[in-house]
C-alpha cells in the first residue's frame, strides 16, 4: 500500500516536472541571481534545495510513522545480518568464548556511533539472556559511558542485572592505531567466537575484520563509510550496508512506529529516482537543443540541487 | 521519568539548533555553542576514560592476566607522557617569554614530549598502518575466488582495474592510438570507464541511501521515537 502510494506520488512528480519543463527554463535561469541575492540575507539561500529535500523527506517519514501508528500494515524485508545476531551469540555461548562489539572510532557526535550503540543494546540483551561474555572496547570516553548504560539496561531487561560487569566495557585510547593494536591483541589472546563491528570505521576496518577472520569468529559489520564497505564485505560473514545500518535499530526494536520511519525512507528514494530521471531528460534535451536555453536550465538545475 | 525526559529534551533542542544553524546564517553561532558544550562534556568524560584505563590495566597486572606485560608498558608510557606533557618538561623556551617555563613549546621534536611523539608514537602508528597492505592481499585473495557468476564478474573487473594500474596495462594496450576507433579497448580507458561510470553510479546509490538513512534516524532521535540509546532503569 505504502509503496503504491509512493509510486503514484513519484509518477505524478515526474509528470508535473515534464509539464513544467518549458516555462521553468526562464525561471531556472533567473534562479541563480535569486540564490546569490538570498545568500546575503539571514537565510542560506545556497542551501534551499537541501532544505526542500529535507522537508519533503521529513514529511514523508512523519506521514509513514503516523500511518504505522494508525495501524496500517508495515512490511519490511528480512535482514540476514540481524537475523544472524542470535546465532552468533549462541555459538559464542556454546564455545565458551567471548563476544566482541566494536562501536567504531568516532564519538557520540557521529550518527554512525549512535546507530552502533543502539544495536549494542540488542546484542547485549541477547548476550545477557544466553549468559555470554560481552566485551566492548571503545575509543572514546563518552561512548564507553553510553555503552555501559545501554549494556546495564539490557541486563535489567533480560532479568539478569547481577551478571552486568562494567569492567568489560572499557576505554582504550583515542589514537586510531593504538586502539587497533589493543583490540586486535585482545582478539588474538581471547579468541572471541563472534565479532560485531558497528559504527564509523576507517583504515582500521580491514585490520579488525581480517584478525577476526583469522581466529574463525562469526563477524557481522555495519557502517556508512562507503570506502570501508568493500573491506567488510570481503572479510565478514554479514554486512549492513549504508541505510541498512541506520534501519537496524528500528528493525531490531520491532516497534511499528519505528518500522514506519523505514518505509518513509522509501518515499525519499523514489524522489531521488524521480529527480535523476528529470535530470537525465533535461540533460539529454539540453545536449541536442540548438538554442542552449534547456542546457542553461539544466546547469541551473544542477547548481540548485547540487549546491 | 525525568531521567529519560531530560535527555530527550536536550537531544531535541540540540538537534533543532544544529539543523537551524545549518540553514540560518544568524543562528550559526548557536550551533558552534552546542559543539562547545559537547567539547566540555568530552573533556570531563576524558578524565573518566583515563581513570578507567588506569583501573583496567592495574587490574590486569595484579591478576597477571594474559598480556599483563603490555598493560605495564601502557601504564608507564601513559604516566610518562602525562607528566612530561602537563609539566612541559624540557619544553623549548618561548621567544617572547623565555623566562616563563610554561610558555614553552612542548610539541616539537626538540622537547621530550615531541620527541616521543615523533620517534616512538609515529613509527608505531605507521607500522600498524603498514600491516594493512598484507591484510588487503589476504582479503583480496578470498574475495576474488571465482565461486559464482557475481564473483567472476568481480574478479574480472578487479583484474582489469589492477592490470590497468600497472606498467603491464600500458604495455599490453598502450600501442592502440588514443584517437583511433579502437581506443576504447585500451586498458586505461576501460579502467576509467569502470571507475567513472560503474563504480561512481554504485557509490552514489549507496550515498543516497545513507543520506536518507541518516535523515530518518535523526528524525527518530529528535522526535524521541527511538530511545534505545537511553537506559530504561
Q: Do A111 and B219 touch (CB under 8 A)?
A: no
- The nearest alpha carbon in chain B to A261 belongs to B216
Residues on chain A touching B214 (C-beta within 8 angstroms): 111, 224, 246
Query: Shortest Cα distance from A129 to chain B (angstroms)?
Result: 17
pLDDT tens digits for A32-71?
Answer: 444 444 555 788 888 888 888 889 888 998 899 889 889 8
Q: Does B149 touch chain A (CB under 8 A)?
A: no
Name which of A102, A96, A89 is nearest A184 in CA terms: A102
pLDDT tens digits for B31-64?
Answer: 889 889 988 988 888 899 999 999 999 999 999 9
Residue A291 confidence (pLDDT) above 70:
yes
Q: What is the pLDDT of residue A306?
A: 67
- The nearest alpha carbon in chain B to A42 belongs to B25
- The nearest alpha carbon in chain B to A138 belongs to B49
Residue A304 confidence (pLDDT) above 80:
no
Phi, psi at A275, each rounded to 5°: -65, -40
pLDDT tens digits for A145-165?
Answer: 999 999 999 999 999 999 999
Assembly ipTM: 0.88
d(CA B126, CA B133) in angstroms, rounded, equals 12
Q: CB within 8 A of A158, min separation 6: which ones?
A: A125, A128, A129
Q: What is the pLDDT of residue A188?
A: 94
Residues on chain B touching A152 (C-beta within 8 angstroms): 231, 233
Give the closest of B26, B215, B229 to A118, CB-based: B229
Q: CB within 8 A of B230, min separation 6: which ones?
A: A149, A153, B4, B7, B8
d(CA A52, CA A110) in angstroms, rounded, equals 24
DSSP collapsed to 3 states, B100-159: CHHHCECCCCCCHHHHHHHHHHHHHHHHHHHHHHHHHHHHHHHHCCCCCHHHHHHHHHHH
Q: Which residue has the higher pLDDT, B3 or A228?
A: A228
Please state, as a whole number, how many other Cβ atoms lie within 10 Å of the Cβ of residue A37: 10
Looking at chain A, how many residues does it have? 307
Q: Does B141 touch chain A (CB under 8 A)?
A: no
d(CA A229, CA A242) in angstroms, rounded, equals 8
- Tell me the domain boundaries of chain B: 144-233
Q: What is the pLDDT of residue B161?
A: 93
Residues on chain B touching A42 (C-beta within 8 angstroms): 24-26
Q: Do A175 and B59 touch (CB under 8 A)?
A: no
* Residue pointed to by grid coordinates 515526474: A14
* Distance, C-alpha A303 to centroid of its chain: 27
Q: What is the pLDDT of residue A1?
A: 41
Q: Does B125 touch chain A (CB under 8 A)?
A: yes
Residue A200 confidence (pLDDT) above 60:
yes
d(CA A221, CA A131) in angstroms, rounded, equals 22
Q: Do A224 and B142 touch (CB under 8 A)?
A: no
Cα R_g (chain B), whole angstroms: 27
Q: What is the pLDDT of residue B142?
A: 86
Residues on chain B touching A150 (C-beta within 8 angstroms): 228-229, 231
Please state, as a whole number, how many other Cβ atoms lie within 10 Å of the Cβ of residue B122: 11
d(CA A271, CA B3) in angstroms, rounded, equals 39
Residue A4 confidence (pLDDT) above 90:
no
Query: Shortest Cα distance from B133 to chain A (angstroms)?
Result: 10
Q: Is A143 exposed, middle or buried (0-12, 13-18, 19+ CB in 10 A)?
A: buried
Please state, as a whole number, how many other Cβ atoms lie within 10 Å of the Cβ of residue B95: 9
Residue A105 confidence (pLDDT) above 60:
yes
**Is the pTM of the predicted complex or chain greater than 0.80?**
yes
Q: What is the mean pLDDT of residues A162-174?
A: 94
Give the closest of B35, B52, B121 to A144, CB-based: B52
CB pairs under 8 A between A and B: 187
d(CA A87, CA A254) in angstroms, rounded, equals 18
Give A245's pLDDT tier (boundaries 50, 70, 90). very high
Q: What is the pLDDT of residue A77?
A: 86
Residues on chain A touching B70 (C-beta within 8 angstroms): 185
Cross-strand partners of B67: none
Q: Do B213 and A243 touch (CB under 8 A)?
A: yes
B96 within 8 A of A218, measured Cβ to Cβ:
no
d(CA B5, CA B129) in angstroms, rounded, equals 43
Element of type H or E holding B72: helix B68-86
**What's the DSSP call for residue B66?**
T
Q: What is the pLDDT of residue A26?
A: 39
DSSP notation for chain A: -HHHHHHHHHHHHHHHHHHHHHHHHHHHHHHHHHHHHHHTSSB-GGGHHHHHHHHHHHHHHHHHHHHHHTT--------HHHHHHHHHHHHHHHHT--EEEE--SS-TTSHHHHHHHHHHHHHHHHHHHHT--EEEEESSHHHHHHHHHHHHHHHHHTT-GGG--GGGEEE--SSHHHHHHHHHHHHHHH--SEEEEES--STHHHHHHHHHHHTT-EEEEEE--TTTHHHHHHH-SEEEETHHHHHHHHHHH--HHHHHHHHHHHHHHHHHHHHHHHHHHHHHHHHH-TTSHHHHHHHHHHHHHH-
Q: What is the pLDDT of residue A31?
A: 46
Q: Which of B4, B29, B55, B128 to mutate to test the interface with A (most CBs of A within 10 A)?
A: B128
d(CA A114, CA A249) in angstroms, rounded, equals 10
Q: What is the pLDDT of residue B106?
A: 87
Residues on chain A touching B212 (C-beta within 8 angstroms): 57, 243, 265, 268-269, 272
- The nearest alpha carbon in chain A to B34 belongs to A109
Sign of the torsion formed by the C-alpha atoms of B206, A285, A304 and A52: negative
User: From first to last of its 233 residues, what are the pLDDT tens digits of chain B?
Assistant: 677 788 889 888 988 898 899 999 888 888 889 889 988 988 888 899 999 999 999 999 999 988 899 999 999 999 999 999 999 999 999 889 888 888 888 888 999 999 999 999 999 999 999 999 999 999 988 888 888 898 899 899 999 999 999 999 889 999 999 889 999 999 999 999 999 999 999 999 999 999 999 989 998 888 888 887 776 55
d(CA B80, CA B45) in angstroms, rounded, equals 21
Residue A29 confidence (pLDDT) above 80:
no
Phi, psi at A113, each rounded to 5°: -65, -40
- For B44-61, b where at least 16 C-beta lie within 10 A, e where not — what string? ebeeebeebbeebbeebe
Q: What is the pLDDT of residue A189?
A: 92
A38 within 8 A of A242, measured Cβ to Cβ:
no
Give the closest of B70, B131, B231 to A153, CB-based: B231
Amino acid at each position: 500500500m505504502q509503496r503504491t502510494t509512493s509510486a503514484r506520488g513519484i509518477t505524478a512528480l515526474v509528470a508535473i516536472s515534464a509539464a513544467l519543463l518549458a516555462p521553468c527554463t526562464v525561471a531556472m535561469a533567473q534562479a541563480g541571481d535569486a540564490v546569490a541575492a538570498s545568500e546575503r540575507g539571514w537565510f542560506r539561500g545556497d542551501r534551499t534545495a537541501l532544505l526542500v529535500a529535507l522537508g519533503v523527506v521529513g514529511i514523508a517519514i512523519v506521514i509513514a510513522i503516523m500511518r504505522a501508528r494508525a495501524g496500517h500494515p508495515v512490511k519490511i524485508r528480512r535482514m540476514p545480518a540481524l537475523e544472524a545476531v542470535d546465532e552468533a551469540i549462541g555459538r559464542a555461548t556454546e564455545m565458551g568464548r567471548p563476544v566482541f562489539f566494536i562501536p567504531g572510532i568516532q564519538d557520540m557526535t557521529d550518527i554512525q556511533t549512535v546507530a552502533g550503540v543502539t544495536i549494542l543494546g540488542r546484542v547485549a540483551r541477547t548476550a545477557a539472556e544466553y549468559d555470554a561474555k560481552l566485551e566492548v572496547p571503545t575509543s572514546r570516553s563518552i561512548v564507553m559511558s553510553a555503552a555501559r548504560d545501554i549494556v546495564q539496561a539490557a541486563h535489567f531487561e533480560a532479568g539478569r542485572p547481577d551478571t552486568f560487569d562494567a569492567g568489560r566495557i572499557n576505554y582504550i585510547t583515542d589514537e586510531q592505531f593504538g586502539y587497533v593494536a589493543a583490540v586486535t591483541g585482545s582478539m588474538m589472546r581471547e579468541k572471541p567466537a563472534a565479532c560485531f563491528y558497528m559504527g564509523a570505521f576507517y583504515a582500521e576496518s580491514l585490520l579488525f575484520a581480517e584478525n577476526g577472520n583469522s581466529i574463525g569468529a562469526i563477524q557481522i559489520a555495519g557502517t556508512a563509510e562507503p570506502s570501508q564497505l568493500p573491506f567488510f564485505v570481503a572479510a565478514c560473514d554479514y554486512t549492513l550496508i549504508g541505510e541498512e545500518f541506520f534501519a537496524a535499530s528500528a528493525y531490531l526494536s520491532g516497534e511499528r512506529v519505528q518500522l514506519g520511519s523505514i518505509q518513509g525512507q522509501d518515499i525519499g528514494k523514489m524522489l531521488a529516482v524521480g529527480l535523476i530521471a528529470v535530470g537525465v531528460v533535461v540533460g539529454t534535451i539540453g545536449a541536442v537543443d540548438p538554442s542552449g536555453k534547456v542546457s542553461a536550465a539544466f546547469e541551473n538545475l544542477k547548481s540548485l540541487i547540487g549546491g | 521519568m525525568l531521567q529519560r525526559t531530560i535527555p530527550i529534551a536536550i537531544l531535541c533542542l540540540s538537534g533543532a539548533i544544529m539543523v537551524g544553524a545549518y540553514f540560518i546564517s544568524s543562528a550559526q553561532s548557536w550551533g558552534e555553542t552546542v559543539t562547545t558544550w559537547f567539547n566540555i562534556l568530552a573533556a570531563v568524560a576524558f578524565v573518566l576514560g583515563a581513570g578507567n584505563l588506569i583501573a583496567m590495566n592495574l587490574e590486569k597486572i595484579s591478576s597477571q592476566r594474559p598480556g599483563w606485560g603490555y598493560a605495564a608498558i601502557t601504564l608507564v608510557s601513559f604516566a610518562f607522557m602525562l607528566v612530561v606533557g602537563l609539566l612541559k618538561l624540557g619544553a623549548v623556551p618561548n621567544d617572547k617569554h623565555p623566562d616563563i617555563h610554561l610558555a614553552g613549546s612542548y610539541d616539537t621534536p626538540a622537547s621530550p614530549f615531541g620527541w616521543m611523539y615523533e620517534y616512538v608514537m609515529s613509527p608505531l602508528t605507521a607500522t600498524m598502518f603498514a600491516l594493512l597492505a598484507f591484510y588487503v592481499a589476504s582479503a583480496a585473495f578470498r574475495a576474488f575466488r571465482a565461486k559464482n557468476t557475481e564473483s567472476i564478474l568481480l574478479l574480472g573487473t578487479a583484474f582489469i582495474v589492477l592490470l590497468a594500474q600497472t606498467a603491464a596495462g600500458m604495455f599490453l594496450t598502450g600501442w592502440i592510438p588514443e584517437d583511433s576507433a579502437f581506443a576504447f579497448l585500451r586498458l586505461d580507458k576501460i579502467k576509467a570507464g569502470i571507475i567513472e561510470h560503474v563504480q561512481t553510479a554504485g557509490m552514489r546509490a549507496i550515498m543516497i541511501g545513507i543520506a536518507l538513512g541518516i535523515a530518518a534516524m535523526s528524525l527518530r532521535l529528535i522526535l524521541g521515537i527511538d530511545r534505545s540509546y537511553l537506559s530504561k532503569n
